[in-house]
Amino acid sequence: MRAFAVKGQAESATHSARTALAAYAAPATNPGAGVCVPLPLARSAHNPVMPEEPVMMTGITGLFDTSDFPPRWTCGTWTPLHGWVHIVADAAIWGAYTMIPAVLAYFILKRRDVPFPRIFWLFCLFILSCGTNHLMESAIFWWPAYRFAALLKVLTAIASWGTVLALIPTVPKALSLPGLAKINSDLTREIKERRRIEAAQRAGESQLRAIFDHASDAIITVGERGDITAFNRAAERLFGYEASAILGKSIWGLLGPGDGNAPAEAWWKQLQGAGAPAQDGRLTATGWRRDGHAVPVELSVGDFEILSAKHYVAILRDVRERKRAEDRFRIAVEAAPSATVMTDAKGRILLINAQTEAMFGYRRDELLGNLVETLVPRRFRDAHPQFRGAFFADPHARPMGAGRDLYGLRKDGHEIPVEIGLNPINTDEGLVVLASIVDITERKRAEASLQSAHDELLRRNEEMEQFTYTVSHDLKSPLVNLEGFAAFLARDVESGRTDRIVEFTGHITHAVGKMRETIDALLEISRAGRVSSDAKPVHLRRLVDDWVAAHTGMIARAGANVHVAPESLVIQFDPQRLHEVFDNLLTNALKYGCPSPGGRIEVGWERGDGEIRVFVRDHGPGIAPRYHKRIFELFQRLHRQPEGTGVGLSLVKRVVEHHRGRVWVESDEGRGACFWFSLPAELEIPAKSEVG
């Protein structure tokens, strides 16, 4: 029996390689208990035991097939002691190889700061796979699943080399990690730095606490739920509470009203929404003192985080005194007799008074916040920002636009002459300008009236000089003739001559007639200088037709033809004065514009530019441009004919100008003359209102 066993062991040693390969071949018949029979390395066509299916497919499908391998107890001559030593040792190794990765995994899961955790996990996998192989070695004594054992070894090899490949690049990184001494040194230095920072923080906190306690403005911090967490001394004075009594209370009690249980974020948002924003980003709100009195405050609000919890801070300033000063200022501005407008450097209107509303026709809410250029005429708006910038560049009290005429624009589009004084004022919001605006319309009218009176006085002085000349010349000449012929007549009477009495009497009568004519002309000029209150509706066509009918003989002698415009025109005017105007213009046209028979005189009118324009046109010799103004002067004549006094056109000019009109002539030598006069369109009477 022993010899047989030795022989079997020799054969097993001789064919070990072939046996290992044949383990994955087709199953063989059991050679018998206690004997490990080797299988042939190859099978040929002469060996009918060779299976038909491929070896690889057999290995995969038969991974757990143990029919072609005996258990290890039956392969060789195992003693119980020898076998159980192997079994227990492999089981113990498996247990240790299982506990090691379990402990490592627990350590890695608990210490997330361990460097290179991937290497640890690979070691866990590698050690666990090695332990599984030892477990399989123990199991083969009863369960000869050699194919499955081979698979476990392949997986172990993969895990081993995977760990190697991951470990190689990790080693340089691990070597660069600081040593324990360096870590201790760095830790010591870090502790010292942290202590220094903490000391600096404590000093900073002490400084901030001193600033917090001694700040002139109230400072309140609020927790996430709206509870007051800090309350400085200025806040105690402002609200009348001691910090110890108010800490932990709701902010709503000081800057409400609102739900005292609402979170601070809701208070902050409501404060931002309800407060009136100031120009520098601050808010104005109402605080409530302990005694129940309201106090106006100006505040800045902000938020910050402490340990991921949001907190809020409000810095409040008591503005009661400033409010009282502003109220006094507004009362003074409102009571000012002139319009007052306050603007900032950008031209935004900040304040106006009732006089401004009355002067410009705007409501207060229509101007506040808008640009001051709203009150500036459009033709001046483009240049106005430049003037405003020049004032803010050199701010001092001065009149605006010195030496220039200034105008304001009313809401209805009318312009008014104004006088503006500028005063710079420094406020918390910056530099502003207070403009005092005076409507000088009445002053301008008075100045215009004074200028008109002055011009009229100058004109009258000139006329007085002309009058003096007339008295000294036009009246003196007939008086001299009268005196001379009277003397001749007296001598003839004394001498008894009667043959020249009729001649001398005729000369005397002619001289008296010239004097009367001159005196009548002067009286007409005097009457023309007074605007009559006897104004009536006058039909111009009828007036001209009546004049033509009354002067038929004169027209016939001149051989002229008078053509009157067919359009109807009725104006409110003194009939006598208007008759004098047409009489002088038409008489001159007949005398000087129709030197030969067949002359044509045209009378017409037109409307435009807010006035009525009337013309009398002839086709005579015309008037040189150099005489166009002279002919309207008193006692000026361009012809040597003895007829006429030289006051006709002067009378026309005076009558028309006293009715706010004007007179001019359009003429040139050899082209006839067209005399024009214009009157305000408001004197025209609509056709339906015509009278007789």
Contact 421, 433 (CB under 8 A): no
Domain-terminating residue out of 172, 200, 227: 172
Alpha helices in 559-657 (DSSP H): 575-592, 648-657
Residue 640 confidence (pLDDT): 54
Task: Say how many CA atoms lie within 13 Å of 232 toward its Cβ.
Answer: 20
Cα Rg, the chain, nearest whole Å? 64
Whole-angstrom Cα distance, residue 571 to residue 605? 12
Q: 183 lies in a domain? A: no
**Which tokens is 282 given?**
């601050």
Q: In what order do the strands lie in the sheet with 662-667?
A: 561-564, 600-608, 611-618, 673-680, 662-667
Report the SS3 class of residue 479.
helix
Amino acid at 133: N
| CATH number assigned to the domain comprising residue 373 | 3.30.450.20
Instruction: Enter the pTM of the model.
Output: 0.43
Angle between helices 540-550 and 575-592 (to 10 degrees): 50
Q: 552 lies in a domain? A: yes
Clarify whether residues 547 and 591 are in a common domain.
yes
Report the SS3 class of residue 684.
strand
Whole-angstrom Cα distance, residue 483 to residue 480? 5
Residue 471 confidence (pLDDT): 63
Sort strands 600-608 and 561-564 into parallel, antiparallel or unpaired: parallel
Clarify whether residues 542 and 469 are in a common domain.
no
- The torsion angle over the Cα atoms of residues 133, 138, 139 and 143, rounded to 10 degrees, is 110
Contact 647, 587 (CB under 8 A): no
Domain count along the chain? 5
Clarify whether residues 7 and 115 are in a common domain.
yes
Clarify whether residues 557 and 684 are in a common domain.
yes
Residue 662 confidence (pLDDT): 93
Contact 425, 431 (CB under 8 A): yes
Residue 13 confidence (pLDDT): 36
DSSP string, 18-51: HHHHHTTSS------TT--PPPPS---TT-TTS-
Contact 515, 479 (CB under 8 A): yes
Clarify whether residues 350 and 245 are in a common domain.
no
Q: How many residues does the chain have?
A: 692
Clarify whether residues 514 and 654 are in a common domain.
no
Q: 189 lies in a domain? A: no
Q: 568 lies in a domain? A: yes
Domain-terminating residue out of 483, 498, 523: 523
Contact 159, 179 (CB under 8 A): no
Phi, psi (5° rounding) for residue 200? Answer: -65, -40
Clarify whether residues 372 and 399 are in a common domain.
yes
Clarify whether residues 85 and 223 are in a common domain.
no
Residue 1 confidence (pLDDT): 35
With DSSP H G I counted as helix, E B as strand and the rest as coil, what are the percentages for the chain, rounded to 5? 50, 20, 30
Q: 210 lies in a domain? A: no
Clarify whether residues 304 and 420 are in a common domain.
no
pLDDT along the chain (692 residues), means of 10: 36 39 38 46 42 50 80 87 91 92 90 85 91 91 89 91 89 80 84 90 85 87 85 91 89 64 53 48 76 84 79 85 83 88 92 91 92 92 89 88 85 91 86 91 88 83 70 68 80 81 82 74 63 77 92 88 90 90 91 85 92 93 88 68 67 88 92 93 76 43
Q: 633 lies in a domain? A: yes
| CATH number assigned to the domain comprising residue 672 | 3.30.565.10
Q: 179 lies in a domain? A: no
Clarify whether residues 269 and 347 are in a common domain.
no
Domain-terminating residue out of 439, 471, 489: 439
Clarify whether residues 519 and 537 are in a common domain.
no
Residue 612 confidence (pLDDT): 94
Q: Which domain holds residue 256?
A: 215-318
Clarify whether residues 493 and 586 are in a common domain.
no
Q: Which residues contact 46 (CB under 8 A, 6 or more apart)?
A: none
Q: 202 lies in a domain? A: no
